[in-house]
Structure 1
């Protein structure tokens, strides 16, 4: 028996109203998540540099310790990414986005499409990518509550993300079209991107 067996529909805490329907459901690709959100390659590089410097100084014990730390940390990050893959469900309906997230503590976050100010697409190799959401007047969500489904370093005003999803460009179009139906006068606009993330492609493009 799973903790999600009570869900009337996968990824949703309750049955949808009659006027609401699912447009798309998905989840992160754990390998891409590990590389982009958890920065696993940077962690390996960090330990490799320390081990290399230690060997240059003939400090074999420190170098060996760094190798062990690298294996342990990498293993933990891989397991965590896999756990996120197994427990996360992103749902787009004609009314909202629902994030069912949490490896240890499960939670569902509802984001009405009417509250989305901007949405930007960051493409990754192989057609996958992440969609960053900027919200209007919703109460602020805690960064730790959202992570890793939040844009890096946006701690004071966190920006939810659909992280490392397959066929991200198609999902971005679905989101744009659904939001345009809810916000016909002011559809989702392209937001400027700052330096901590590579340039994102706006949904309106």
Structure 2
């Protein structure tokens, strides 16, 4: 019997129901393969163990038969396969536990596999956004926050822009059809920011002349 670990959410990916005037424009999650490739550097790890295996094979080949040299290189291949499998599993679990949401008012990010948290980023706290697009259509949209907004890089990883440790930027990592999502985000943010905000305060008491 299937079980949904997030069945308690009133709206998938959100901790509470949306206000009446707020609507969801897009929801998605990272592509697991792209997350393993870009955030966990799976190709580089595989290449590293491949080089170790090739070096071991070449070093032993000058002193032993090809079969013996191949047997000596095999442990590096096996270790590389195990490490790559673990990285793929981490990427899959992270992608499965993540939901990115764009509404007409904010970006919400439900992230974390072991410790789940939800980031609510109203458009008025976002100073800008940048898109890093891959040839396969996947990409990362990083959000530059206003100066008074601070996040923890380690808590939000891998859902942050790489190598921005001092000023972490939350990011929609490795999402499919990233160009179209960036367009939706841009249009929603522009519409929200251009809408005047009315501060509803009680009317002051009329002035009474003595």
* 2:173 is the alignment partner of 1:163: yes
Aligned counterpart in structure 1 of residue 49 of structure 2, from 47, 50, 59: 47
**Aligned residue number for residue 120 of structure 1:** 130
Aligned counterpart in structure 1 of residue 8 of structure 2, from 6, 9, 22: 6
Structure with larger Rg: 2
The 5 A counterparts of 1:131-150 are: 131-150=141-160
Distance in 1 (CA, whole Å) between partners of 2:148 and 2:86 is 34
Does the residue aligned with 1:12 lie in a helix, a strand or coil? coil
Aligned counterpart in structure 2 of residue 151 of structure 1, from 154, 157, 161: 161
Residues 68-92 of structure 1: per-residue CA shift (max 9 Å, x gap): 2211110011111111121110000
1:60 Cα deviation after fit: 6.0
Evaluate the alpha carbon distance shift between residue 138 and residue 109 of structure 1 in structure 2; reply closer, same or farther with a 3 A threshold.
Answer: farther
Evaluate the alpha carbon distance shift between residue 90 and residue 114 of structure 1 in structure 2; reply closer, same or farther with a 3 A threshold.
Answer: same
Which 4+ stretches in 1 moved above 3 angstroms?
59-62
**Aligned residue number for residue 199 of structure 2:** none
1:133 Cα deviation after fit: 1.0
Distance in 1 (CA, whole Å) between partners of 2:148 and 2:53 is 47
* 2:109 is the alignment partner of 1:99: yes
**Aligned residue number for residue 56 of structure 1:** 58
**Aligned residue number for residue 89 of structure 2:** 79
Distance in 2 (CA, whole Å) between partners of 1:158 and 1:66 is 36
Residues 85-113 of structure 1: per-residue CA shift (max 9 Å, x gap): 21110000111111001111111111111
Distance in 1 (CA, whole Å) between partners of 2:114 and 2:72 is 34
Any gaps of 5 or more consecutive residues in structure 1?
186-205
Any gaps of 5 or more consecutive residues in structure 2?
61-68, 196-210
1:148 Cα deviation after fit: 0.9
1:54 Cα deviation after fit: 1.5
TM-score, length-normalised on structure 2? Answer: 0.83
Aligned counterpart in structure 1 of residue 139 of structure 2, from 126, 129, 138: 129
Q: Larger deviation: 115-124 or 134-143? A: 134-143
1:61 Cα deviation after fit: 6.8
Evaluate the alpha carbon distance shift between residue 102 and residue 61 of structure 1 in structure 2; reply closer, same or farther with a 3 A threshold.
Answer: same
Report the aligned-residue RMSD.
1.6
